[in-house]
Structure 1
Amino acid sequence: MPDLPQLLLFVAAGWLLNLTPGPDVLYIVSHGLRGGARAGMVAALGIVGGCFVHVFAAAAGLSALLATSATAFTVVKWIGAAYLLWMGVKLLFSRTGRLNLGDGAPPETDLWAVWRRGFLTNVLNPKVALFFLAFVPQFIRPDAAHPALSFLLLGVLFNLNSLPINLGYAWLAAWAARRLHTLQRAMGWMDRAAGALFIGFGLRLAFTDHPSSRA
């Protein structure tokens, strides 16, 4: 596990990244606006449930990933760095976020369906797995005795850390249905802040050496 300053940075980065408008946030907000706070919160729980699947799957293979050849490590490193930089530039130069309020359909009453769709949307999105593999290992010490366990604990912390943000989005959407202009402006500023953060992490990952090269 990282030391306290790194852990606090991890928590702060997690909050900022979860504040960033994206497909998950739009799914939560859409259901919050159309179905009220309960539907939005159930949508948030479905999203977080899908994230846990990616964390457990990534943790199961992390030991083999870190023990592989320097060439394979470099390939994965550059893929992760390119993804983070692409996301950062996209967010940094995006226009103010727009909320997709759907097609005017009636509020969702089947909460199980709301949860299930949120869960499957995340589980079936390979970008979520790539995000965890690119982001979380940067907070694991190169000499960690149990890197897979550290990854698992940090991944669980990231997901639990996201709950207040996601549930807050659900409540805010239900409360601010008639104040969308103000909400969209706030989303635009969060886009840019998170974009700068993504670019920073992408550059950090790009200049990371394979652990064996530090020996």
Structure 2
Amino acid sequence: MTITSTIALIFAVLIFALIPGPGVMSIIAQSVSRGFKSTALYCLGVVSGDLCYLLMAIFGMGFIAQKLGTGFLVLKWIGAAYLIYLGIKSWMAAPPVENGSSLPTEKGFGKTYLAGLCVSLGNPKLIAFYCGFLPGFMDLQTLTASDVIIVTCAVIPTVLAVLLSYAWLGDRSRTAIRSPKIWKIANRCAGSVLIGSGVAVAME
């Protein structure tokens, strides 16, 4: 790959990643409800799934996603169920005690990472997206090992940076809330978005 095509790929991925969808909305809502650390692990799970599909697209293994369709469907439902579970927890969460000084945090970091991974792997449409997207920037038939590394380093960190930025914005909004009443309203809004995102993921 040339420097020009690499830069073009990064900008294209950046634009696509910035477009809000159910995944982005769930990240913002989870960050408002549970904090940045927990949501960062969720983001890592999402990009881990993206990495799997990206490599499948590069190496022409789209048939694997087709053969394991039922398995991916189960993963999608697991991820969707966890988002709905987090939404319900957000609805039921009590407001912080002293002006936002004691905000609740999510302790199930492993579960949070796996939820992000399941949501991502449960969407095999991603491999179709990458298969249709990547040829606009490179010839998949003539990629070298160094090209694969460049593509991976261009796509995955870019997506992760965008997702973490959304998580950070959600966390900043969370810590800025001082009134327990407003915090409760915000938490219920976040819970509603998480539940809606879980339903949207399940229906995709």
Q: TM-score range by the shorter chain?
A: 0.5 to 0.7
- 1:110 equivalenced with 2:113 (yes/no): no
- Alignment-derived partner of residue 156 in structure 2: 159
CA gap of 1:151–1:132, structure 2 versus 1, over 3 A, is farther
**Candidates 116, 140, 145, aligned match of 2:142:** 145
Q: CA deviation at 1:30?
A: 2.0
Q: CA deviation at 1:149?
A: 6.6
CA RMSD of aligned residues (A): 3.0
Which residues of 2 match residues 71-110 of structure 1 at below 5 A? 102-103=87-88, 104-106=91-93, 108-110=106-108
Q: CA deviation at 1:169?
A: 1.0
CA contact (8 A) 1:42 1:114 kept: yes
Please give the alpha-carbon distance, in whole angstroms, between the structure 2 residues aligned to 1:146 and 1:129: 17
CA gap of 1:152–1:133, structure 2 versus 1, over 3 A, is farther
Q: CA deviation at 1:26?
A: 1.9
CA contact (8 A) 1:27 1:43 kept: no
The one-letter code of the counterpart of 2:171 is A
TM-score scaled by structure 2?
0.60
Please give the alpha-carbon distance, in whole angstroms, between the structure 1 residues aligned to 2:60 and 2:146: 11
CA contact (8 A) 1:59 1:152 kept: no
Residue ranges of structure 1 left out of the alignment (5+ in a row): 66-99, 181-215
Which residues of 2 match residues 149-188 of structure 1 at below 5 A? 150=147, 153-177=150-174
Please give the alpha-carbon distance, in whole angstroms, between the structure 2 residues aligned to 1:150 and 1:8: 13
- 1:35 equivalenced with 2:34 (yes/no): yes
Percent of pairs with identical residues: 23
CA contact (8 A) 1:60 1:148 kept: no
CA gap of 1:23–1:163, structure 2 versus 1, over 3 A, is same
CA contact (8 A) 1:55 1:132 kept: yes
- Alignment-derived partner of residue 187 in structure 1: none
Q: Deviations over 1:117-166 (max 9, x none)?
A: 11011112112111111111210048x63378745641442012222211
**Candidates 117, 124, 127, aligned match of 1:126:** 124
Q: Helix, strand or coil for the counterpart of 2:106? A: coil
